Structure 1
Amino acid sequence: MSRLKYIFLLLCCTFFSVKAGIKHPLHVSTTEVNFNAKDKTLEVSCRIFSDDFEAILAKLYKQKTDLSSPNMKTTMDELVKKYLLSHLQLKANGKAVTLNYIGFEIDHEATNIYLEVEKIAAIKSVEVNDTILYDMFDDQMSIVHVVKGNVRKSTKILYPEKKFIANF
């Protein structure tokens, strides 16, 4: 079984364990960066267990957090944006790029966060610097996918490592 299939299987088991009310044994997040040649953008999505994410937001920003509360949506948007922009950086073709926060949504036991980088005409390399939840867990694993057309490059980054470079 390939490494990525094994990791995917572990992630599925972890998500189903959480659904069943069992505390998840892995501390994992996923980040996907897709190059959209038509719109000349990098579309970025992150998936983080909501309970872990709420815990780190409360710890760092010293306030109540509830990602699923419609009444707290504006406040949560501010915290999610602040956290993600300080824990995820990208370089395109060797140059740092600005991530624009789009928003987040709850999907079962996970939070999906969306960001975008504009004005990327072509892509030869993407460097991902990911420290999501590193300030909470010393066994954090980040699964990173970088996609350009039909080519997908993936890796797992284990704490304290934080960088992945995909060359096309």
Structure 2
Amino acid sequence: MGLLLCKWWMAMWLTMMHPFYASVTEITHNAAKKELEVSCRIFADDLENALKAQYDTHFDIIRPANRKQVEAYIAAYLSQHLTVNLDGRNIVLRFIGYKIEEDAVWSFLEATDVPAPKQVQVKNDVLYNRHPSQTNMIHVIVGGERKSIKLDNPNATAVLRF
């Protein structure tokens, strides 16, 4: 029993010492509104550290003194690290805002006047420069059909056909 407990404790300790790094991005085409709706979930501490390093600044992403400034940092970061191309056309995503949920930041973006695509190309290298083991999950929903792909650093581009 002691050996089993020791092995369990060692596994738990190693897990805490080597956390996983992952984000989840969901891209949904809303046919009724002809909009592309994007949500991106990133661990708050990882995103905060990436923004602080990139913009050489200090803030608390969960309780910001200047929320508008933090939103500007997140919007700029995502515009550099998350891009969407539909049927060969680059789509400009407009940052709507963010919310904190438990230990994560949910960021919301949208594009208007977007017809239903047959091909969606996503480039997502969020946190790749910070974490060599970063994984970014991508879920794309078009016409009610959901397709998913996992991008492991350094692979940053996925193409999904509908």
Q: Specify the TM-score bucket, using the shorter chain as the normaliser.
A: 0.7 to 0.9
Q: Distance in 2 between matches of 1:118 and 1:70?
A: 29
**1:80-104: per-residue Cα shift (whole Å, max 9, x none)?**
0110001001001111111111011
Q: Does 1:128 pair with 2:125?
A: no
Aligned with 2:90 (options 89, 96, 107) = 96
Q: Distance in 1 between matches of 2:36 and 2:87?
A: 12
Q: How does 1:28-39 map to 2 (within 5 A)?
A: 28-39=22-33
Higher Rg: 2
Q: Distance in 2 between matches of 1:128 and 1:59?
A: 25
Q: Distance in 2 between matches of 1:149 and 1:161?
A: 27
Count of residues in Structure 1 that have an aligned counterpart in Structure 2: 148
Q: Is the 8 Å Cα contact of residues 82 and 125 (structure 2) preserved in structure 1?
A: yes
**1:86-124: per-residue Cα shift (whole Å, max 9, x none)?**
100100111111111101110000000000111112211
The SS at the match of 2:66 is: helix
Percent identical among aligned pairs is 34
The SS at the match of 1:71 is: coil
Q: Does 1:111 pair with 2:105?
A: yes
Q: Is the 8 Å Cα contact of residues 24 and 42 (structure 2) preserved in structure 1?
A: yes
Q: Does 1:164 pair with 2:158?
A: yes
Aligned with 1:50 (options 44, 67, 84) = 44
CA 23–47 in structure 1, closer or farther in 2 if over 3 Å, else same = farther
| Moved beyond 3 Å, runs of 4+ | none
Greater shift, 120-129 or 46-55, is seen at 120-129
Q: Does 1:152 pair with 2:149?
A: no
Q: Distance in 2 between matches of 1:65 and 1:49?
A: 16
When the two structures are superposed, what TM-score results if normalisation uses the length of structure 2?
0.87
Q: How does 1:8-23 map to 2 (within 5 A)?
A: none
When the two structures are superposed, what TM-score results if normalisation uses the length of structure 1?
0.84
Q: Is the 8 Å Cα contact of residues 66 and 72 (structure 1) preserved in structure 2?
A: no
